[in-house]
Amino acid sequence: MITKDQIVRWLEKTAAVLQENKSYLTDLDSAIGDADHGTNMDRGFRKVMEKLPTVSDKDIGNILKTVGMTLISSVGGASGPLYGTFFMRSGMAMASKEELSDEDLFKLLQAGVEGVLQRGRPNLEDKTMYDAWAPTLEAMQNALTAGMGTVELMETAVAACEQGMKNTIPLQARKGRASYLGERSIGHQDPGATSSYLMLNALLETVKE
């Protein structure tokens, strides 16, 4: 069971970890993009932290939708609408919920990833955040079928996500600004897959507490 307080803590942890990794994400982005991913994500989640107190008494769906709207209006670039849509859709899937089952947690992430798919239309191995999310969802589905508990479920998810993130290194980008580099994009880890991993790992740390 995941409580509303845990969801709020997850968002706080995400904001903190994105701030800590601001330069790291920007460095990854300067290799194959336009060197603003860390700055943009940090700016977005700082805004989320300002907004969070105004909705923390609302249900989980409402909180996540507010996160989505805030990211859409403050991040810019491609990651703004992608992460914004992720949280909008996950919020819609969790409408009026005050606590989540493990199954709900899976559905939350699944709805978010479906939003990313509709907005960005990535294919597997395009070297995007989807390369981190697709194996995550698959691993979670299997873990749920196997009847794992919340912590074990999230550990499995994060391990798959990390592997997916690392698997972007040898890929040639076919989406976004990195795609114009052609073969020169090979050998670099995708910044969006990396921020997705950081976000998911923050969720694991929250449920472990």
Partner 1 sequence: MKKLINDVENVVREQLEGMALAHPELKVNYDPYFVVRADAPVEGKVALVSGGGSGHEPMHGGFVGMGMLDGACPGEVFTSPTPDQMYECAKAVDSGAGVLFLVKNYTGDVLNFETAAELAYAEGIKVQSILIDDDAAVKDSLYTAGRRGVGTTVIVEKIVGAAAEAGYDLDQCADLARKVNMYGRSIGIALTSCIVPAAGKPTFDLGDGEFEFGIGIHGEPGRKRLPMTSVDEITAMMATAVLDDEAYSRTVREWDNEEGSWVEKELTDEPFKSGDSVIAFVNSMGGTPVSELYAVYRKLAAECEARGVTIARNLIGPYITSLEMQGCSLTLVKTDDEILKFWDAAVNTPGLRWGV
Minimum distance of partner 1 from residue 184's CB (angstroms): 7
Binding of partner 1 by 191 (CB under 8 A): no
Dihedral angle at the C-alpha atoms of 16, 18, 24, 26, nearest 10 degrees?
-140
The interface mask with partner 1, positions 82-111, x = CB under 8 A, is: x-xx--------------------------
> Of 57-65, 67-75, 103-111, 145-153, which part binds partner 1 (CB under 8 A)?
67-75
User: d(Cα 3, Cα 155) in Å, to the nearest integer?
Assistant: 18
Query: Can you tell me which residue has the tokens 């290194």?
Result: 169
Residue (170 or 180) nearer to partner 1, CB:
180
Q: Which residues pair with 3 in a beta bridge?
A: 99
Taking the C-alpha atoms of residue 203 and residue 199, their distance in angstroms, rounded to an integer, is 7
Burial per residue of 56-65, b for 16 or more beta-carbon CB atoms within 10 angstroms, e otherwise: eeebbbbbbb
Burial zone of 179 (CB within 10 Å; 0-12 exposed, 13-18 middle, 19+ buried): middle
Among 6, 18, 25, 36, contact with partner 1 (rule: CB under 8 A):
36
Q: Which one of 74, 168, 201, 206 is in contact with partner 1 (CB under 8 A)?
A: 74
User: What is the rounded CA–CA span in Å between residue 148 and residue 205?
Assistant: 17
CA 122 to chain centre: 15
Candidates 151, 180, 187, 208: give the one binding partner 1 (CB under 8 A): 180
The site string for partner 1 over 136-165 (x = CB under 8 A, - otherwise) reads ------------------------------
Residue 181 within binding range of partner 1, rule CB under 8 A: yes
Q: In the complex, what is the shortest distance from the CB of residue 167 to partner 1, in angstroms, rounded to a whole number?
A: 18
Angstrom distance (rounded) from CA 61 to CA 122: 26
Question: Is 78 near partner 1 (CB under 8 A)?
Answer: yes
Indicate the residue among 4 and 177 with the shorter CB distance to partner 1.
177
Give me the residues that bind partner 1 (CB under 8 A), please.
34-36, 39-40, 72-78, 80-82, 84-85, 119-120, 172, 174-177, 179-182, 184
